[in-house]
């Protein structure tokens, strides 16, 4: 599991999770080949990388869903939510270790944030 990852490592990890979720969504919803993305999903992937690269809170947060500031444009935020809703449960089948790690980290972060309020 995760132990004191550097900010750069956290950025890469977040990008990797989002990439896998978008790829799964695109493959199942848009019927693309395994290693390819449709133009719409490619745009979303690029946008998510841009947001992650410029996130000032990366050092103290785990995932965007746990962040207090949502920096995605409204239409992109809705698109990424749709991807997450679809791919999240399916990640247990396709990438079980990553999915369980993500769930554990999210639960810990939500408890931590709740305790700070």
Q: pLDDT tens digits for 75-103?
A: 999 999 999 999 999 999 999 998 898 88
pLDDT at 24: 96
pLDDT at 58: 79
* Structure confidence by residue, pLDDT tens digits, 18-75: 999 999 999 999 999 988 999 999 999 999 999 999 888 877 776 777 677 778 999 9
Residues comprising the chain, all counted: 117
7, pLDDT greater than 90: no
Helices (H), 30-95: 39-53, 74-94
4, pLDDT greater than 70: no
pLDDT at 88: 92
111, pLDDT greater than 60: yes
């Amino acid at each position: 599991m995760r132990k004191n990852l550097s900010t750069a490592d956290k950025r890469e990890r977040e990008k990797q999770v989002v990439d896998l979720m978008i790829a799964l969504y695109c493959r199942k919803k848009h019927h693309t080949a395994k290693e390819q993305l449709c133009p719409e999903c490619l745009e979303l992937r690029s946008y998510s990388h841009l947001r992650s690269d410029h996130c000032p809170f990366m050092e103290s947060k785990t995932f965007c869903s746990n962040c207090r500031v949502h920096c995605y444009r409204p239409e992109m935020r809705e698109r990424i939510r749709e991807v997450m809703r679809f791919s999240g449960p399916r990640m247990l089948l396709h990438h079980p270790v990553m999915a369980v790690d993500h769930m554990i980290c999210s639960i810990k972060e939500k408890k931590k944030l709740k305790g700070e309020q």
